[in-house]
Amino acid sequence: MKETIIAVGNGGYNLASDLIAAQLFPNARLIVCDTDEKDLEKHSVNAAASFLFEKLRGTVESGYITFVEDIIAKASDSVIVCATLGGMTGSKYAPLIALEAILKGKFVCSFFSMPYESEGEQKIKRAMNASMQLIVSSNFFVQQNNDRLKEVESLGSSDINKPLVETVKSAMSHMPLEELDNDINHEVLQAYIPEEYRVNGIPLVMIRGDVYPGITDENRKGIFNLW
Ligand SMILES: Nc1nc2c(ncn2[C@@H]2O[C@H](COP(=O)(O)OP(=O)(O)OP(=O)(O)O)[C@@H](O)[C@H]2O)c(=O)[nH]1
Ligand SMILES: [Mg+2]
């Protein structure tokens, strides 16, 4: 299936690039979006479409959905949302994009990271809120907890997305992305995480199919407080 990868924010673009460089999605279309004009300009060179978003400070209002609708209208039936949560762009817009995609009946997969603990409570809270919103609007997700990266000695400074990318690679070597959702049980999915990334305590990588089977679109919208 031809996927549409939607990279949100600066780290979201890095993550999407690393997934593409690993040749996991050879036919995918890349859409980039950011609130930072310079970053967007740089990244749009490699993208099929790019969107400049308004910087959001407070809570998201329903008016912004229209903008997000334009993106989803350009997406295929299988959407991959990439963001590194904690900042103001990926955390605010990636969940809205995933919500719009799942409401439009797409298969939604989210790949995201959580910030380092040293980045402070505000970023962590923002990321926690965003991850919850992303998870309810995804059929499948892989989360990387950046703070645990330091526990894997073999990872160098340029390997920041490697555990997530390698987990996706391992999972997709067993079955197509679109089949990795609720048909498969939790233990089977965890076994796809490469052994070197299984650290003690809070995991470095989490991989899950439909977390809330039976969740309705109304429930999803309720989480966002938009309506
Ligand atoms: N795994 C990973 N994490 C990253 C990367 N870049 C940044 N991060 C983490 O993600 C958080 C958010 O960073 P950005 O992606 O730059 O933020 P943004 O979404 O562009 O939002 P702004 O605040 O508007 O710039 C940072 O605090 C880091 O913890 C990356 O390439 N990979
Ligand atoms: Mg940014």
> Which one has a higher pLDDT value, 61 or 212?
212
Residues 213 and 48: their CA atoms lie apart, in Å, by 33
Residues 91 and 75: their CA atoms lie apart, in Å, by 20
| Residues 94/51, Cβ–Cβ less than 8 Å | no
Contacts of 199 (CB under 8 A, 6+ apart): 148, 151, 152
The answer to whether the predicted template modeling score (pTM) of the entire model surpasses 0.75 is: yes
Average pLDDT, the chain: 91
Atom of ligand 1 nearest to the CA of 35: 24
Tens-place pLDDT, residues 161-201? 999 999 999 999 998 888 887 667 788 898 999 999 998 88
- Buried b vs exposed e over 89-106: b needs ≥16 C-beta within 10 Å? bbbbbbbbbbbbbbbeeb
Task: Compute, in angstroms, the gap from residue 145 CA to the centroid of ligand 1.
Answer: 12
pLDDT of residue 227: 44
> Which contiguous run of DSSP H or E holds residue 91?
helix 90-103
E strands of 2-118, at which residues? 3-8, 29-34, 49-52, 78-84, 107-114
Judged by its nearest atom, the ligand closest to the C-alpha of residue 161 is 1
Q: What is the DSSP letter of 47?
A: -
- Residue 226 reports pLDDT greater than 60: no
Task: Compute, in angstroms, the gap from residue 113 CA to the centroid of ligand 2.
Answer: 14
Please state the rounded mean pLDDT for residues 73-94. 96
- CB distance 4 to ligand 1 below 6 Å: no
| Residues 62/227, Cβ–Cβ less than 8 Å | yes
- Residue 62 reports pLDDT greater than 60: no
Strand order in the sheet with 140-145: 49-52, 29-34, 3-8, 78-84, 107-114, 140-145, 205-208
- CB distance 160 to ligand 1 below 6 Å: yes
Residues 150 and 160: their CA atoms lie apart, in Å, by 10
- Residue 68 reports pLDDT greater than 80: yes
- Residue 225 reports pLDDT greater than 80: no
Q: Which domains does the chain have, with CATH numbers?
A: 3-224 (3.40.50.1440)
- CB distance 224 to ligand 1 below 6 Å: no
Residues 30 and 7: their CA atoms lie apart, in Å, by 7
Q: What are the structure tokens assigned to 67, written together?
A: 């903008």
Which residues hold their Cβ within 5 A of ligand 2, which is an ion?
Answer: 9-10, 36, 89
Lowest mean pLDDT, pick from 29-38, 94-103, 212-221: 212-221
Q: Residue 101, Cα to own-chain centre: how many angstroms?
A: 13
pLDDT of residue 166: 97
Mutational pocket test of ligand 1: of 15, 35, 92, 113, the residue with most ligand atoms within 8 Å of the beta carbon: 113
Residue 142 exposure: Cα atoms within 13 Å on the Cβ side? 26
90-103 and 65-73 are packed helices; what angle lies between their axes, rounded to 10 degrees?
A: 60
* Protein residue with its CA nearest to atom 11 in ligand 1: 86
Please state the rounded mean pLDDT for residues 136-142. 95
| Residues 34/13, Cβ–Cβ less than 8 Å | yes
- CB distance 143 to ligand 1 below 6 Å: no
> Which one has a higher pLDDT value, 226 or 81?
81
